[in-house]
Structure 1
């Protein structure tokens, strides 16, 4: 392709993706949060990086910064322009460069094929913000200075082509030329590609600092006093005040053998807290046995918990110990303790009071040393009043209650939990994502989480499964039913915090509407005319027609099918 054939497509489709949400202090480009920053301030940052890190390290830092920015923008290209040619979709990058005020881009040559991997491109740059900043601080340079911009072009093209593309600045206004000129090719086609690819690698200085930090952390661990040792939970999945309070209570309980009652909604992580308590106690080397009382049939629950002697009942063909005996010297976690039968409640009370039990069908009393952690998502005090739970057992369990707040009351922990579950499920599915879009993160933080941490983990797992490698997880990957009015997240939309770009209002003339609404008016016929007109304007392209009509593509496809059936 030559400079005579290269033209930039209209930018309206890109400008429509920009949404200013000034009441919330946010700017959106599709699902990514953007910033408006003074160019002069970026120049000061550049200057400080050069003074602090030196030219070469500052150059590498800014190239990587630009590379990741271009990579993110390349994800938009195929979303925004799914029906355009590859060349027009590729121009999202150069056009966003201009829209963001970074540089004016003029394409001179572009020839690429995604299938074969062939790529060659030439662009002219005018009004580079990096040139202005460098000239203001240092004057003319003896080497090209558009480091962030060259990183952006390489990152955008590498994502788009699914292979490493490197751009080089063959002339630069920062060295005295009239304008900048860049050339892009696959990395291996540059003789000195290794020299340029090194700028995309992590800076050894950062690795050195991280290594030193790790050594300091190890030293702190070795010399930390046991009296101030923090529970492992604080360092893993929470830093909110509510979470730290839980950890404080756990540390206090861990030093004794007191019975603990965990209360909270389903999915808040009661078993994780129970395991944390066990791990923090002097019983950590012994067994931790978890029992969900709701999963055991009522007529078998005593045998499961306390053991059974052979011949005690039909089906008891052998003697076996119960969960309590297996947890001896350790900890037993009784989840959904409210589901225990009255007889099992009496047996549990005896274990708590006397530290002894008898197997079902047995006559021998067995001494048991076990820490009991009970949990329920119901109010046991109410259950006592209703006669569903023994009052004496409740008072025995309620010696040391710990309330675990729902996720909606500890939203500060959501980003940490998301990061934790992303690592877990990316490893599980052998995938690597580019993180979560800013709008999706906002939605996850504002959602009320009726299923709490369990629901969050399931949602993150879904997002990892649905997202291709190296792509950002978007809003719809987490919330598949967002289009349904009943979905909780639509409350956010009504408040304007996640509202999409408002549609241009259709002008209405009351007189015209009165004429339209005659006795023989047909809404179905009007809808058909609108759809036919939209399809005609876009030469039958369903996706483009849907955008014109303000519909989703599936919604328009359904209407078209219905119209064909009626004909």
Structure 2
């Protein structure tokens, strides 16, 4: 081993490996991992060789390792972006060991990021793959660490930005006491072209995947004209609401859409319009809460010239503009009482009367309304007319919040990803597993609208060619503590590095823990202006817990 080649401490990499027994997940950074029995992997190798032959099996397993190495390359700059190029690169061999592949010893490493030059030699001891192949087939003539070679090639290629091919010059499957690998750019190998199908990044499958993403993105731009917008979901609650919408679409019944803010009430209204006999007519949407009370009647019913100061010309209202089609009144519960009376007349007589007009006008409008407030409570409080509620509530449809349809979160997120990658001219590999899990466990107070905003932000923040990861969706979310691996390889509680540094400074200060606690409590109370409830929230305590600690501090103070 060259004198300057040595592994940096691996604490930063051990922190990447986190165990979550409560959720049944193991994470390496943002990638979900699984523990597999080597016996199971050995059985898979044997079955593949028997089924498709040695050459195709080698191709499949090499590409499997290549994909794994490519993913791990992303951790190099994240964990050691401030280190030397070699220390950054050695993340790969250290991760390979951490993942249980083999004991990796660097023998020679020469690399230049500017020119793309790379020469590397490594020794593998206790390769699980060589051991498994030798157990199944005895001593063989050809090296057999296909997954491990794929990993080394994938990691180095992604790190260097060009295709690097590793070969085994010695292998435990061939009877050697260890494996030895050599890597350099594929063009520097005389037979490099024969190995390109194993590793080529821009293969036909990649191109097909890129075209598929573009087609899906284009389909999303056409979707509103055919299906009324982004109505995606297979959960029972969503399907029930969708079925009610489809049943009402071909009728003329007045529909009342209810649900929390952001659940997609306008999308349901548009879908109802598109599936109705009025699809060829206009769809006019009005947010009643966004219109000033003094202008809402003029906006809805129109105004005649001279009806009030500033009305220099006659103007049609939203009802007239929606004639022959559908009028969607969102937040109808915020309509003032005078406008409610006029709305009731429209529902009863299909007539509107412009402000300042002397005669009514007939309109042919399908009415769809929506609200996120309880209209029964509004009636009881005198804010909403009971007779209007009876007219609107003929056919109610409750749209479920996103937290009640968790199985729809992933397909919705992928649909949004396709739309926003096309909109922002990005090509991404998808949404990371850790990010998907965070989406599944979020409580979604903003519902589908919040999901839409998160995915668009993630697409913008993610690097071209990468994936949308947890930090792109929730950039301000603190990292939780998890089970990790200590330097001896044992499971242990792992805390963030900045917490470790803080604890070290506290210990080095020599301040007694009782005095430190008193100072922290006093500072929290001072920052909250003496408000114990605010101080307790700041410290992550309940108010009684904080009061008890403060009282104990006063009791422990020495008498004068």
- TM bucket normalised to smaller: 0.7 to 0.9
Q: Could you say if the C-alpha distance between residues 50 and 317 of structure 1 is closer, same or farther in structure 2, counting changes exceeding 3 Å?
A: farther
Q: CA deviation at 1:57?
A: 4.0
Deviations 1:8-31 (A, max 9, x none): 333333234323222332222233
Q: Could you say if the C-alpha distance between residues 517 and 304 of structure 1 is closer, same or farther in structure 2, counting changes exceeding 3 Å?
A: closer
Q: 1 or 2 for the larger relative contact order (CA 8 Å, sep ≥6)?
A: 2
1:447-462 equivalent positions in 2, closer than 5 A: 447-462=442-457
Show structure 1 runs of 4+ deviating over 6 A. Answer: 202-209, 492-496, 503-507, 512-518, 520-524
Q: Could you say if the C-alpha distance between residues 355 and 45 of structure 1 is closer, same or farther in structure 2, counting changes exceeding 3 Å?
A: farther
Q: Which moved more, 1:164-173 or 1:73-82?
A: 164-173
Q: Could you say if the C-alpha distance between residues 44 and 356 of structure 1 is closer, same or farther in structure 2, counting changes exceeding 3 Å?
A: farther
Q: Which residue of 1 aligns with 2:114?
A: 115
Q: Could you say if the C-alpha distance between residues 194 and 397 of structure 1 is closer, same or farther in structure 2, counting changes exceeding 3 Å?
A: farther
Q: CA deviation at 1:192?
A: 4.5
Q: Could you say if the C-alpha distance between residues 52 and 385 of structure 1 is closer, same or farther in structure 2, counting changes exceeding 3 Å?
A: farther
C-alpha separation in 2, matches of 1:304 and 1:143: 81
Q: CA deviation at 1:69?
A: 1.3
Q: Is the 8 A contact 1:234 1:247 kept in 2?
A: no
Q: CA deviation at 1:325?
A: 2.3
Q: Which residue of 2 aligns with 1:340?
A: 335
| Aligned-residue CA RMSD (Å) | 3.7
C-alpha separation in 2, matches of 1:368 and 1:402: 25
Question: Secondary structure, in 3 states, of the residue corresponding to 2:153?
Answer: helix
1:249-260 equivalent positions in 2, closer than 5 A: 249-260=244-255
C-alpha separation in 1, matches of 2:133 and 2:254: 67
C-alpha separation in 2, matches of 1:206 and 1:84: 33
1:178-327 equivalent positions in 2, closer than 5 A: 178-200=177-199, 232=227, 237-327=232-322
Q: CA deviation at 1:289?
A: 1.5
Q: CA deviation at 1:435?
A: 3.7
Q: Which residue of 2 aligns with 1:444?
A: 439
Q: Is the 8 A contact 1:60 1:200 kept in 2?
A: no
Q: CA deviation at 1:51?
A: 4.3
Q: Which residue of 2 aligns with 1:411?
A: 406
Q: Which moved more, 1:145-154 or 1:196-205?
A: 196-205
Q: Which residue of 1 aligns with 2:154?
A: 155
Q: Is the 8 A contact 1:69 1:155 kept in 2?
A: yes
Q: Which runs of 5+ in 2 are unaligned?
A: 212-225, 485-491, 521-560
Deviations 1:336-366 (A, max 9, x none): 1122222322222222222222333334433
Verify: 1:41 aligned to 2:43, yes or no: no
Q: Which residue of 2 aligns with 1:394?
A: 389
Q: Could you say if the C-alpha distance between residues 203 and 132 of structure 1 is closer, same or farther in structure 2, counting changes exceeding 3 Å?
A: farther
Verify: 1:380 aligned to 2:375, yes or no: yes
C-alpha separation in 2, matches of 1:346 and 1:506: 67
Deviations 1:361-400 (A, max 9, x none): 3344333222211111111111111111111111111111
C-alpha separation in 1, matches of 2:493 and 2:461: 22
1:468-547 equivalent positions in 2, closer than 5 A: 468-483=463-478, 501-502=494-495
Verify: 1:349 aligned to 2:344, yes or no: yes
C-alpha separation in 2, matches of 1:205 and 1:119: 27
Deviations 1:27-84 (A, max 9, x none): 2223332211101112222333444455444433323322221122112222223443
C-alpha separation in 1, matches of 2:379 and 2:513: 68
C-alpha separation in 2, matches of 1:437 and 1:251: 35
Q: Normalized against structure 1, the TM-score is what?
A: 0.76
Q: Which moved more, 1:12-21 or 1:373-382?
A: 12-21
Question: Secondary structure, in 3 states, of the residue corresponding to 2:338?
Answer: helix
Q: Could you say if the C-alpha distance between residues 516 and 247 of structure 1 is closer, same or farther in structure 2, counting changes exceeding 3 Å?
A: closer
Q: Is the 8 A contact 1:233 1:247 kept in 2?
A: no
Q: Could you say if the C-alpha distance between residues 358 and 116 of structure 1 is closer, same or farther in structure 2, counting changes exceeding 3 Å?
A: same
C-alpha separation in 1, matches of 2:108 and 2:248: 71
Q: Which runs of 5+ in 1 are unaligned?
A: 212-230, 484-489, 525-567
Q: Could you say if the C-alpha distance between residues 93 and 514 of structure 1 is closer, same or farther in structure 2, counting changes exceeding 3 Å?
A: closer
C-alpha separation in 2, matches of 1:86 and 1:25: 36
Q: Is the 8 A contact 1:167 1:184 kept in 2?
A: yes
C-alpha separation in 1, matches of 2:205 and 2:10: 41
Q: CA deviation at 1:245?
A: 1.2
C-alpha separation in 1, matches of 2:398 and 2:41: 48
Q: Which residue of 1 aligns with 2:223?
A: none
C-alpha separation in 1, matches of 2:319 and 2:302: 8
Q: Is the 8 A contact 2:228 2:274 kept in 1?
A: no
Aligned length: 489
C-alpha separation in 2, matches of 1:142 and 1:347: 90
Q: Is the 8 A contact 2:131 2:172 kept in 1?
A: no
Q: Is the 8 A contact 2:20 2:482 kept in 1?
A: no
Q: Which residue of 2 aligns with 1:102?
A: 101
Q: Normalized against structure 2, the TM-score is what?
A: 0.77
Q: Which residue of 1 aligns with 2:360?
A: 365
